[in-house]
A = this chain, B = another copy of it.
Amino acid sequence: MRPITQDKMDKLTIFMKNNNIDLIYIADWESARDVNMRYLTGHIMDANLIITSGGETMLLPWDVDLAEDHAQVDTLVTDKDSRHNPADYVKEVAKKDNPVIGVNLGIPYRYILEIKRKIPGVKFFEEPHKLADTFRNLRATKSPQELEKLIEAGKIGNKAINDIRKFAEEKDGTENDLSFLVMKKMREYGAEENSFPSLVANVTRSHMIHCHPSAGNSKYSENGLALIDYGARIDGYVCDITIPLSFGKLTAEQEKIKKTCFKAYEEAIAAIEVGVPLWKISQAAVDVIEAAGYHMPHGLGHGLGLTVHDSPGIRQKPTEPERLEVWSEVLIEEGMVFTIEPGVYVKGLGGQRLENDVMIRNGKVEVYTNSEPIEI
């Protein structure tokens, strides 16, 4: 079943009609994922999707059996070679020589070129940022069914916290051991998979935003600042949790990193309220971090849904005039689900990031994952 509600599908087709877009073409392949394909159809992955302004959907999947089990579309193309020639189907559906086609900003350039070659009179919708915003806005608030799934994923993530605490208390084992433990536990608790490879970093690696490799064979409980960033996926929906850990006696600077991170987290959570602009939540955390003399090298948070980096993004208001021009203020509203994850990182000393998942349900702010600092 497709996750998008009929109400939202109507919003999309109204946007298309208002902007004279004849059809939208979406491609979701290993080389470039577009979560809108799954969101609009229920089909899991690897397909082309065409949507007309009348709301008719046509899917060209790689795996027809998978599509038969999951896709909710008007036309399922079962020709095994259709995936090689999506532009032919775009041409067929467009039914005119100079259609206006909407594409997402992330679509690989090859599809633009192929459609131009097949339909020389084609016009691509001239304000693709607006279409991208429309997709993001549709996905930025979740239906009650989606909220249930997100909570289910969060519960699985929460259950692993105790396992992580026990592992830390034993002060034994490597980053890889912890990575496996979490993966194993989450599947035991019902996850279909990790929503991403767990980032497990001891003090020598916790200063990295996304440590590489995700886990190694070093002892995890070396004295100092450590973290683990992990998530579970169930029926496509994800959670995303980061636990900051510390082992042994810290230096004064390490204590400051910790305190700054946790204070930034508290201020951000306290600022969340229906109707507040998202950038103000980010500002609340950044103010704390910058007052302490640090710089946060990533956004404060991101939406959660069928993808780990869904909309809305929780970021600073841009300062450059040209980015400000295409930027628009987004207010917190019912059905939004996002992470809050301030981080402070200093090469040589380590880093701390505290991350929980938040949803707005029945007008209330629910922090529905339970990460908190673990100090050993």
Give bound CA distance, A85 to B319, whole Å. 13
Q: Are A176 and B180 in contact (CB under 8 A)?
A: no
Distance between A200 CB and nearest chain B CB, rounded to angstroms? 12
Q: Of the candidates B32, B65, B105, B295, which one forms a contact with A208 in the assembled complex, judged by CB atoms under 8 Å apart?
A: B65
Q: Which residues of B are found within 8 Å of A210, using beta-carbon distances?
A: 46, 63
A11 interfacial by beta-carbon distance below 8 Å: no
Instruction: Tell whether A113 pairs with B128 under 8 Å between CB atoms, given A187-B176, A217-B187.
Output: yes
A249 interfacial by beta-carbon distance below 8 Å: no
Q: Which residues of B are found within 8 Å of A65, using beta-carbon distances?
A: 207-208, 347
Q: Which residues of B are found within 8 Å of A347, using beta-carbon distances?
A: 65
Number of copies: 2
Q: Are A192 and B213 in contact (CB under 8 A)?
A: yes
Q: Which residues of B are found within 8 Å of A80, using beta-carbon distances?
A: 295, 297
Give bound CA distance, A197 to B212, whole Å. 17
Q: Which residues of B are found within 8 Å of A187, using beta-carbon distances?
A: 176, 180, 217
Q: Of the candidates B105, B113, B212, which one forms a contact with A110 in the assembled complex, judged by CB atoms under 8 Å apart?
A: B105
Give bound CA distance, A84 to B84, whole Å. 33
A121 interfacial by beta-carbon distance below 8 Å: no
Complex interface residues of chain A between 37 and 66 (CB less than 8 A to chain B):
44-46, 62-63, 65-66
Q: Are B108 and A107 in contact (CB under 8 A)?
A: yes
Q: Which residues of B are found within 8 Å of A31, using beta-carbon distances?
A: 32-33, 106
Give bound CA distance, A218 to B359, whole Å. 33
A314 interfacial by beta-carbon distance below 8 Å: no
Give bound CA distance, A137 to B166, whole Å. 51
**Contact size range, A:** 35 or more
A96 interfacial by beta-carbon distance below 8 Å: no
Distance between A153 CB and nearest chain B CB, rounded to angstroms? 14
CB closest chain-B residue, reference A103: B109
A309 interfacial by beta-carbon distance below 8 Å: yes
Q: A136-176: contact bitstring with B at CB < 8 Å (1 yes, 0 no)? A: 00000000000000000000000000000000000000001
A92 interfacial by beta-carbon distance below 8 Å: no
Q: Are A213 and B197 in contact (CB under 8 A)?
A: no
A95 interfacial by beta-carbon distance below 8 Å: no
A30 interfacial by beta-carbon distance below 8 Å: yes
Q: In the complex, which of the residues A63, A65, A66, A109 has the most CB atoms of chain B within 10 Å of its own CB atom?
A: A109
Q: Of the candidates B45, B105, B309, which one forms a contact with A109 in the assembled complex, judged by CB atoms under 8 Å apart?
A: B105
Distance between A29 CB and nearest chain B CB, rounded to angstroms? 9
Q: In the complex, which of the residues A30, A216, A323 has the most CB atoms of chain B within 10 Å of its own CB atom?
A: A30
Q: Which residues of B are found within 8 Å of A110, using beta-carbon distances?
A: 105-106, 128
Give bound CA distance, A112 to B109, whole Å. 8
By Cβ-Cβ distance, the 3 closest A-B pairs, closest first, are: A105-B110, A32-B32, A192-B213
Q: Are A108 and B214 in contact (CB under 8 A)?
A: no
Q: Which residues of B are found within 8 Å of A193, using beta-carbon distances?
A: 197, 213-214
Distance between A31 CB and nearest chain B CB, rounded to angstroms? 5
Q: Which residues of B are found within 8 Å of A108, using beta-carbon distances?
A: 32, 105-109
Distance between A352 CB and nearest chain B CB, rounded to angstroms? 16
Q: Which residues of B are found within 8 Å of A184, using beta-carbon distances?
A: 180
Give bound CA distance, A279 to B210, whole Å. 40
A332 interfacial by beta-carbon distance below 8 Å: no
Instruction: Tell whether A44 pairs with B212 under 8 Å between CB atoms, given A80-B295, A187-B176.
Output: yes
Known: A63-B210, A176-B187. 19 other contacts (CB 8 A): A30-B309, A31-B32, A63-B209, A65-B207, A65-B347, A80-B297, A85-B320, A104-B109, A105-B108, A105-B109, A107-B108, A108-B109, A109-B109, A109-B128, A110-B128, A113-B128, A180-B184, A180-B187, A192-B216
